A and B are shown apart, each in its own frame.
With several copies, the nearest count.
Chain A
């Protein structure tokens, strides 16, 4: 079974040369640490920076330079700053190649719920609804089940949706799954995890074709 770092490592392999990538808060943020060094990638943060670099050195924090998670960051050579409207032009206009974000639930048709639990304090969707409504390539990073052990890969989402039919791939602590028109297609198993375990943890329709390989990190 993967931990959060493992999920991030596996997702990092989905980041291809020449990609502009938007990373959500949580596990997705970790992905930046594991992207291959020999490919060219730029990170966009929807609050207004392209070419985001690592956190600053102690003492070099700049209050005017943060990411969408409100953390202090740095800018790499070739970076640019822009306003929010331009930032979402990049997202809505499909100029960002890959969006990686967390979720509470994903359904077998690619719906995603990640912003609201009725009855609890709702913090808001931030940029997530814009991202999932437009991104051509959306990967969800999440645990396969919730704290009660219930599946988060469902036939239908029970929580209020963030977007419909948009998720392309899900990487969990147990598996890599592709969202197809027929349901979740199991692509890879986490190290030491059996197909049966994944089957048991997946409420939505799971498609198993041939021998499912163990993922290589």
Chain B
């Protein structure tokens, strides 16, 4: 068993520096790598490119890095719910690339799986396809989209072990598995680090080979963005 465990978030983020490209898991505030984001907000790194489905809210998630002006470019599918984001975007301070959600997921997965590019129908005939190669297969048009290239992936899982194996919970899974192994270094934070052998090998969502560093996170807030009840 190859041991991926690191002592804490500081050790997990070793090597992070300005101008890097990060992937960050989560959908809205669900399943985001809270510990990694919080640590990044404390570090003197800036001019970051962040690939993440959303950009957090003003005072949580990626919103923390936006407040510090640490993000230079954001690649996302939906960026509502964040006033500071809007301000920086409209002022031109922040570069924003909006792409379809399925394309975002698959460009991550392509990087994980060693595919250079994919053909997807999403965005054909729209401004998303401008400047991109398009191609017909069986009478339907597709857009060529390139695999992402990133320095670090920050993902959050429910349970994990020192071998790097991960299990996610509910819809907190979302982009997290697709980002594992999609960057040079994948850092996984988990709510509970269990002994190696405690996870059923049949139920592991992400095998440890896709993870370089793992640690048990602290003080998860797991904030609910839109509490709705019957």
**Chain A interface residues (CB < 8 Å from chain B):** 18-20, 40-42, 44-51, 54-58, 60-73, 75-96, 111, 121-130, 133-134, 160-165
Q: How far is the CA of A111 from the CA of B1 in the complex (A)?
A: 32
Kindly identify, within residues 138 to 165 of chain B, every residue whose CB is under 8 Å from any CB belonging to chain A: 158, 161-163, 165
Kindly identify, within residues 28 to 76 of chain B, every residue whose CB is under 8 Å from any CB belonging to chain A: 28-31, 53, 76
CB of B117 closer than 8 Å to a CB of A? no
Q: Which of B124, B209, B224, B225 contacts A133 (CB 8 A)?
A: B124
Residue of B nearest to A75 (CB): B201
Question: B170, A64: Cβ atoms under 8 Å?
Answer: yes
* Interfacial chain A residues near B196, Cβ < 8 Å: 77-78
* Interfacial chain A residues near B127, Cβ < 8 Å: 160-161
Q: Which of B101, B121, B123 contacts A84 (CB 8 A)?
A: B101
Question: A58, B229: Cβ atoms under 8 Å?
Answer: yes
Residue of A nearest to B53 (CB): A84
Q: Which of A47, A64, A71 contacts B226 (CB 8 A)?
A: A71
Q: How far is the CA of A111 from the CA of B124 in the complex (A)?
A: 11
Q: How far is the CB of B227 from chain A (nearest CB, A)?
A: 6
Q: How far is the CB of A163 from chain B (nearest CB, A)?
A: 7
Chain B residues bordering chain A, tally (CB within 8 A): 79
Kindly identify, within residues 142 to 194 of chain B, every residue whose CB is under 8 Å from any CB belonging to chain A: 158, 161-163, 165, 168-178, 181
Q: How far is the CA of A4 from the CA of B95 in the complex (A)?
A: 36
Q: Which of A49, A66, A76, A91 contacts B225 (CB 8 A)?
A: A66
Known pairs A56-B230, A57-B229, A78-B1; A126 contacts B173 (CB<8 A): no
Question: A96, B79: Cβ atoms under 8 Å?
Answer: no
Question: B209, A90: Cβ atoms under 8 Å?
Answer: yes
Quick one: which of A20, A67, A75, A125 has the most chain B CB within 10 A? A125
Question: A88, B207: Cβ atoms under 8 Å?
Answer: no
Q: How far is the CA of A89 from the CA of B208 in the complex (A)?
A: 13
Residue of A nearest to B209 (CB): A95
Give 3 closest A-B pairs by Cβ, nearest first.
A88-B102, A92-B114, A77-B197
Q: How far is the CA of A78 from the CA of B230 in the complex (A)?
A: 21
* Interfacial chain B residues near A40, Cβ < 8 Å: 1-3
Q: Mark B92-131, 1 if CB is under 8 A from A, else 0.
A: 0000001111111110110111110000111111111000
Quick one: which of B3, B30, B209 has the most chain A CB within 10 A? B209
Q: How far is the CB of A18 from chain B (nearest CB, A)?
A: 5
Question: A130, B112: Cβ atoms under 8 Å?
Answer: no
Question: B30, A50: Cβ atoms under 8 Å?
Answer: no
Residue of B nearest to A125 (CB): B100
A-B contact pairs, 18 of them (CB 8 A): A40-B1, A42-B208, A47-B28, A48-B27, A55-B229, A57-B229, A65-B171, A80-B204, A80-B208, A81-B173, A89-B109, A122-B98, A124-B79, A126-B77, A129-B100, A130-B100, A161-B126, A165-B125
Question: B207, A85: Cβ atoms under 8 Å?
Answer: no
Question: B79, A162: Cβ atoms under 8 Å?
Answer: no
Question: A47, B30: Cβ atoms under 8 Å?
Answer: yes
* Interfacial chain B residues near A68, Cβ < 8 Å: 27
| Extra pairs beyond A49-B170, A164-B126 (20, CB < 8 Å) | A46-B102, A48-B171, A57-B229, A61-B228, A63-B223, A64-B222, A67-B171, A77-B1, A85-B177, A90-B210, A92-B120, A95-B210, A127-B101, A129-B103, A130-B102, A130-B103, A133-B121, A133-B122, A133-B124, A162-B126
